[in-house]
Amino acid sequence: MARPGPDAELTSAQLHSSLSDPLLDVMNFLNEVTSRHPEAISFGPGRPYDGFFEVDRIGDYLTAYTRYLETDLGRTPEEVRTALFQYGRTNGQINDLVARTLANDEDIHVDPAHVVVTVGCQEAMLLVLRALVTGPDDVVLVTDPGYVGITGAARLLDAETVPVPEDEAGLDPDALLAAVREVRARGKQPRAVYVIPDFANPSGTSMPVDRRRRLLELAAEEDLLLLEDNPYGFFSRTGEHRPTLKSLDTRHRVVHFGSFAKTCFPGARVGYVIADQPVVTASGARTVLADELSKIKSMVTVNTPALAQAVIGGMLVSYDCRLREADKDLVDFYRGNMEALLAALDRHLPQDRWPVRWNVPDGGFFLSLTVPFDADDAFLRESAGDHGVIWTPMRYFHLGSGGERQIRLSASYLTPHEIDEGVRRLAGHVIERLTQGDR
Amino acid sequence: MARPGPDAELTSAQLHSSLSDPLLDVMNFLNEVTSRHPEAISFGPGRPYDGFFEVDRIGDYLTAYTRYLETDLGRTPEEVRTALFQYGRTNGQINDLVARTLANDEDIHVDPAHVVVTVGCQEAMLLVLRALVTGPDDVVLVTDPGYVGITGAARLLDAETVPVPEDEAGLDPDALLAAVREVRARGKQPRAVYVIPDFANPSGTSMPVDRRRRLLELAAEEDLLLLEDNPYGFFSRTGEHRPTLKSLDTRHRVVHFGSFAKTCFPGARVGYVIADQPVVTASGARTVLADELSKIKSMVTVNTPALAQAVIGGMLVSYDCRLREADKDLVDFYRGNMEALLAALDRHLPQDRWPVRWNVPDGGFFLSLTVPFDADDAFLRESAGDHGVIWTPMRYFHLGSGGERQIRLSASYLTPHEIDEGVRRLAGHVIERLTQGDR
């Protein structure tokens, strides 16, 4: 090897392996694809709708929070100043408000000390994986297809992820059991299972309640933790709300991730994790997993910005810790968009005429469209460049093979007119491809 | 081993090794010690002074930022709303303003695309270590004593840290060279050296300019990256400002960490890293380290809260990207406090009467007091409980042995009266211990 020159230059081999993993490009792609094709209608990112946001409200929420600190908590003006401007507690400042909101909205009853407020749900996932993965023998199971944020966080920690197939009713407990046994047969430890039970990203599937109960039993039988992520739970299309795993959990088997990105707004980057699992330290002291996550957080972000917590705290106070009611218009908006997407597919790509199918999600942002050819990067480039429509290859969300012929469609931030026009364009491309196949 | 019961319970052995490392408790201790002893005068945390903060200014800064977006950048009201409320670019939204401020205040001239805006400097350190540490053979060198944030981040990534002794003029290049050779002799790779050249935490030392130049030469000769952290650079006691390593760096040898926690306020948690190192990927594509850090960041926090960036951006705009001038009162405050600390030590613990000594820092928050006995946890507990004064054992900041007889004093957020009274109490305890020794 040649002696390195005096100017610093790094090669891929000198950087962590995660940086050569295509997985880490996917989320950047999802966030930035819209800006690369400004003219196209994009079903790509699961971006929240921001039409209800009002810049002037930020000041109102800050005022609501400072008034809450002064009036409800009896803080002095100096203490209020400190709460907004200084470093705060590592595990969060608005934990009480988060716990009250969870009780009202989700029937999840949790000690505020068992909540860690995080910089979005992504930080929470990293903290939990770092706590649970002790070395190369610890394995994280992830629904397949699954959310790239959890597999990406695992890559950063050199943690092995094992896919567990979903069916049309979400994570299949039998498939999970088989995966757990396969992992143990290899001499490895399945530590946790990541799952989005409601309106999953990317597939749009939801787990029936009996499956949820079976999953909890299995977690106890097999000594697993369930990592439940619930970003879309509010956004039911049908009006039905199934209980979260955490609300059914009597055995501390569920670590529950939540976020205010979709129910309040993403620009605050405030999420949280409920981690009430008892921990016994080497010295015999008893603590809970939230305290351990807090120690890790002190070396990741120190604490979640006080300013961001104050604005979200102010929103929670303003709505009496009942976001579900406050978000009624937003829930209606997303319901309307999912209905519009389903209607547009029926209109432009009828299943009785074309060999395609799609699932009918009970809610959330995402739907999965299956076509009889590979919906790959090349087809996506043609869609964007020639047809003015963007979507995400489901392939991106599978850990191994799978999803080659599936398209993830998100209609979360478009107007019904854009949805119809976008589906018309996509249908044009799909039909062009199908009829080319007839030549 | 007994079959685990159905209720989840975790033991230390089932959690990552970093959680059993006492190091991770230190930062929580530093943040929370004050609240545990509300009556004591605390020289413990390096907490910024918040007397100049005004809650009402947050709205002004937000307005300044939105006006900048509209007027200077020509954004529409919808784009302004999106900039505040939505997810943003992973590497940051205020990079231009940060780069202009660095040019004005630090004579550091950097392409905004080579800056990553982070959730405080802590996230920046984690991102850089994750990028550079590819496996167990990669070693990070850290000044000894050193900042716990860097060693803690290394622990999370199972990265080996090797101490490099400081002397009264900071990091010693000869000691660094010896450490580098020792690491290589063990078959390992020294990848980077963490250093705070100005007013170091915890020791208060600063590196003379000729040492900085020698360090840069050594980095080129030995193919090292220098991780320069500059949280306190503004706060010169003497009025002298030495050039940062980055401003002297002509060979991309310096990764520069900065933070607005001390120059603006901590509650925004906005920091940044300059990472202009060229990178050649496996496919031969050319990029820079900042782009690679951005990929990692997408799996840690996705992006730095838009809201926090907007408030800091508004401060930068308000002060014409010249924080050094804007912080004049704050600089004077910290200068006055360091002078008060030095005067109080002279007054209550004169070196011609007692066998103690301390350094005379050129600026910053910290000073190191040496006593002729172990300044350990037991002595600290007595200080806090019996004498009403808190400080930090320097021992905490050493990776191996060292610092047993040293005390870190921070006077960053106290009043001159509190400083004098606190030193009087500490002197009382030290003298009690010294005279007990005579029995």
- pLDDT tens readout for residues B194-243: 999 999 999 999 999 999 999 999 999 999 999 999 999 999 999 999 99
pLDDT in tens, A168-199: 999 999 999 999 999 999 999 999 999 999 99
The rounded mean pLDDT for chain B is: 94
SS (H, E, C) B86-107: CCCCCCCCCHHHHHHHHHHHHC
Q: Which residue of B has its CA nearest to A82?
A: B50
Check CB contact under 8 Å for B8 and A152.
no
Q: Is-above-0.90 flag for pTM?
A: yes
Q: Searching chain A, which residue's CA lies closest to the CA of residue B304?
A: A269
Q: What is the mean pLDDT of residues A351-378?
A: 97
Do A244 and A95 contact (CB within 8 A), yes or no?
no
Q: How far is B14 from chain A (nearest CA, A)?
A: 7
| Closest alpha carbon within chain A to B224 | A8
- Comparing CA positions, the residue from B117, B424, B396 lying closest to residue B275 is B117
Give the C-alpha distances (Å, rounded to integers) separating A109 from A230, A256, A389, B48, B308: 16, 12, 44, 37, 30
Instruction: Tell me how crowded residue B203 is: count the other CB atoms within 10 A of its CB.
Output: 27
CA-based nearest residue to A365, from A407, A404, A335: A335
Number of Cβ atoms within 10 Å of the Cβ of B100: 17
| Nearest CA among A204, A252, A207 for reference residue A232 | A204
Give the tens place of pLDDT for each residue, B138-158: 999 999 999 999 999 999 999
Residue B193 has φ and ψ, to the nearest 5°, of -125, 120
Q: Do B269 and A133 touch (CB under 8 A)?
A: no
Which architecture, in CATH terms, is B58-323?
A: 3-Layer(aba) Sandwich (3.40)
Contacts of B24 in chain A (CB under 8 A): 295-296, 298-299
CA distance A133 to A335: 38
Whether residue B316 has pLDDT greater than 70: yes
Chain B residues within 8 A of A268 when measuring between CB atoms: 305-307
Task: Please answer yes or no on whether B292 and A152 come within 8 Å at the CB atom.
Answer: no
**CB spacing of A58 vs B84 below 8 angstroms:** yes
Q: Is B14 or B4 the better-scoring residue by pLDDT? A: B14
Q: pLDDT tens-digit profile of B94-128?
A: 999 999 999 999 999 999 999 999 999 999 999 99
Spell out which residues of chain A touch residue B25, defining contact as CB-CB under 8 Å. Answer: 295
Weakest-pLDDT range from B109-118, B281-290, B361-370, B415-424: B281-290
Cα distance between residue B20 and residue B13, in whole Å: 9
Counting Cα atoms < 13 Å in the Cβ hemisphere of A384 gives: 19
Q: Assign A31 a pLDDT band (cuts: 50, 70, 90).
A: low
CB contact under 8 A, A15 and B131: yes
Complex-level ipTM:
0.95
- When pLDDT is cut at 50, 70 and 90, the band that residue A37 belongs to is confident
DSSP B38: T
Which residue from B minimizes the CA distance to A136? B16
CATH code, residues A86-325: 3.40.640.10
Per-residue pLDDT at B157: 97
Which CATH code fits A12-52+327-436? 3.90.1150.10
pLDDT bracket for residue A437 (50, 70, 90) = low
Domain definitions of chain B by residue range: 12-52+327-436, 58-323
